[in-house]
Structure 1
Amino acid sequence: MVTALKDDERRLVMPSALRRRSLLLLQGLVAEAVRRGYEVRKAGSSFYSREGGVDVAVDGFTYTVTVRQEFPESVDPERSARLVVELGHGLTGRPGRWRDRKGRTLEEALGVILGEIEARAVEGARREQNEQQARADREVRWRAAMEVAKEQAVREQLAQVLREEGGRWQEAAALSAYCTALEGRIGGLEGAADAADLDSARRWLDWASGYVRSIDPLSGLPKMPHSREPTPEELKPYLRGWSPYGPERCG
């Protein structure tokens, strides 16, 4: 990979002495990373022409290390000769950039850079574990909320059946009272009213009585209604902010 960078004239565009030093820095970093058992890959990120770098993978976490000339436009020979090594995807409060110092060169900081990569991998694993635990806890809470919502939605289904039956029963009771009154009226007019009118009234009474029996839910023994699986829309009013589609979605 370092050789590929060396042969790529579009990368590490800088004075030849600085370019050679940059390549040696990356070579030293790669060698130490491999010695520690880590995988080094061709960098997946795109670079500016003045940069070059590699990806270092530690315990499933990949970090991009780049090197570049710090002050390419400077006319001061000392400033223009400085390099900077950067670690991509910096985290708040963690170091991610190293420069030459009076008491330590970048070559001497390679172990520190790899140590930072290792620290980030540990932190990343801890964060991933916490996220997995949080997702698991959220899943448990969501499932519990779904169970309660399903019970309440089914309860509402049965309550709706009850309301409908109660409405039919009230209607049947009112119509039954009418039939009783009509029967009394017919009986009171026997021999006094026209026979044809009485016959018509009796036929109307027979039909009305049959209709009342047909709509009266208590004309037979009511059975426990069948409930069905509630739809997502039926569950929403009882989920208290949870989504019926999954624990990761908003209600």
Structure 2
Amino acid sequence: MAALRDDDGQLVIPPVLRRRSFLMLQALAAEAVRRGYEVRRCRSYYSRREGGVDVVVDGFACTITVRQEFPQSTNPERSARLVVELDHGRSGRPGRWRDRKARVLENALGVILGEVEARALEDAQRRESEERARVEREVRWRTAMEEAKKRAVRDQLAEVLREEAGRWQEAAVLGAYCDALERRLAEPGSAVDESALESARRWLEWAREFVCAIDPLNRLPQMPTPSEPTPDELKAHLGKEWSLSGPGRRGGR
């Protein structure tokens, strides 16, 4: 308050109104301190014609400023009127009080400070609601990430399964061919010379060995070890609502 009083660059209004403004701010500051709140010097003003203080209630800072309502008026009654305002912030609550014939601002100081307290409560509730929403969204994001990881791993295992099934199917077809060739060679009365038969038998022997080598079921398959899903694999299952980088962003990486 002393800094505000001694700052000639603030509350540049007629001396009588300046003293009255200072006394109102001083009374508000004293009552705020009595209630356990912090009072700080306000350094942000729209013009040199106003001055004020910041009252901090439970971490919520609210600027209270006072100014002359009609500085250009030549009417003594109008030019003597003051206005006390609270910064707008996020609130749609009342934030301006004026001198009127039926009420001077000095009688509204308790209402003004009460409004600061109401805004602080509203802000605390808003922050609590935002924190709950943030936590809930993070839980949903982590659940979505886990589900995306499961699906990405499933895709990896399914790809291995398809590859093995493809090799098994190829081995089955080639094995059926070998069986058919073996039956052909066993047919009596084939008008084929011995050299051709011997060549076919060698071919059948090689084919049997090849089929045995590629058949994945010649030995028991082992459970594959999936790799850590890549960002692209996760993104394919994450959906547009979520980002790989965290719950605070939507879509993309």
Interval containing the TM-score (normalised by the shorter chain): 0.7 to 0.9
Contact 1:168/1:215 (<8 A) preserved: yes
Look up the match of 1:117: 116
Q: Which runs of 5+ in 2 are unaligned?
A: none
The 5-angstrom pairing of residues 22-61 of structure 1 reads 22-61=21-60
Q: Distance in 1 between matches of 2:59 and 2:244?
A: 33
Contact 1:86/1:98 (<8 A) preserved: yes
The 5-angstrom pairing of residues 93-242 of structure 1 reads 93-184=92-183, 192-193=192-193, 195=195, 201-240=200-239, 241-242=241-242
Contact 1:232/1:245 (<8 A) preserved: no
Residue 216 of structure 2 aligns to a residue whose secondary structure is coil
Contact 1:172/1:212 (<8 A) preserved: yes
Moved more, 230-239 or 78-87: 230-239
Name the amino acid aligned to 2:39: V
The 5-angstrom pairing of residues 62-81 of structure 1 reads 62-81=61-80
Q: Distance in 1 between matches of 2:171 and 2:99?
A: 95
Contact 2:45/2:51 (<8 A) preserved: no
Q: What is the TM-score normalised by the length of structure 1?
A: 0.85
* TM-superposition CA deviations, 1:132-169 (whole Å, max 9, x none): 22222333333333333333332222222111111111
Q: What is the TM-score normalised by the length of structure 2?
A: 0.84
Look up the match of 2:243: 243
Look up the match of 1:88: 87
Q: CA deviation at 1:90?
A: 4.5
Contact 2:91/2:119 (<8 A) preserved: no
What is the Cα-based RMSD across aligned positions, in Å? Answer: 2.7
Contact 1:90/1:96 (<8 A) preserved: no
Q: How many aligned residue pairs are there?
A: 249
Name the amino acid aligned to 1:124: D
Q: CA deviation at 1:116?
A: 0.5
Q: Distance in 1 between matches of 2:60 and 2:85?
A: 17
Q: Distance in 1 between matches of 2:208 and 2:83?
A: 98
Moved more, 11-20 or 179-188: 179-188
Contact 1:59/1:121 (<8 A) preserved: yes
* Alpha-carbon spacing, 1:46–1:179, altered in 2? closer, same or farther (3 Å): farther
Sequence identity (%):
65
Q: Distance in 1 between matches of 2:186 and 2:44?
A: 100
Residue 153 of structure 2 aligns to a residue whose secondary structure is helix
Q: Which runs of 5+ in 1 are unaligned?
A: none
Q: Distance in 1 between matches of 2:225 and 2:6?
A: 76
Q: CA deviation at 1:64?
A: 0.9
* Alpha-carbon spacing, 1:15–1:151, altered in 2? closer, same or farther (3 Å): same
* Alpha-carbon spacing, 1:178–1:118, altered in 2? closer, same or farther (3 Å): same
